[in-house]
Amino acid sequence: MNRYLCCTLVQIFDHKRILLGLKKRGLGVGKWNGFGGKVKPGEEIKMAAVRELKEESGLDVETSDLTNVGKLVFEFVNNGLVIEVYVFRAQNYHGEIVETEEMKPQWFSIDEIPFNEMWVDDIDWYPFMFTQKLFFGFMKFNGENEMLYKELQVVENV
């Protein structure tokens, strides 16, 4: 039986900029990513997204300001881990951006997203996010840097 995790990922937008965080520890260390993490048992997914965004960036959003952009399922063939990631975007937020032990946040122009320092699948699904098409993706990884398989499709709901 594979080990399964349900996670969130929040992409914060401000006009033509996106806020990314450099992951300082754990899964995806050294990569720029949106903000998110594991949903706790019994926790509502959007509440987990709000909590993880706050923990990793200092920013607050309302659950009603989180828009679904897609769902990604990653299978890590090297260790049997399966991660289901609910991806959201938000442009209404408040609070001060802070660097934490886990993440170093930084704004990037949406024309200068550092895809070569991100999870290798991001370059495939960010375009769906930008064109506001709800997507579902399934990817197989061997370790954190080798993508063995990918499948992406536009869907009606996630």
C-alpha span between 70 and 97 (Å, rounded): 25
Of the pair 9, 19, the CB lying nearest ligand 6U4 is at 9
Of the pair 36, 105, the CB lying nearest ligand 6U4 is at 36
> 93 near 100, Cβ under 8 Å?
no
Helix (H) or strand (E) holding 127: helix 122-130
Cβ count near 124 (within 10 Å): 17
Q: Which residue is nearest to ligand 6U4 (CB)?
A: 37
Of the pair 33, 57, the CB lying nearest ligand 6U4 is at 33
Site for ligand 6U4, rule CB under 6 A: 7, 9, 26-28, 33, 36-38, 52, 74, 83, 85, 119, 121-122
What residue has token string 């550092």? 114
Instruction: Compute the least distance from the CB of residue 95 to ligand 6U4, in Å.
Output: 18
Instruction: Compute the least distance from the CB of residue 129 to ligand 6U4, in Å.
Output: 11
Instruction: Compute the least distance from the CB of residue 122 to ligand 6U4, in Å.
Output: 5
Instruction: Compute the least distance from the CB of residue 87 to ligand 6U4, in Å.
Output: 8
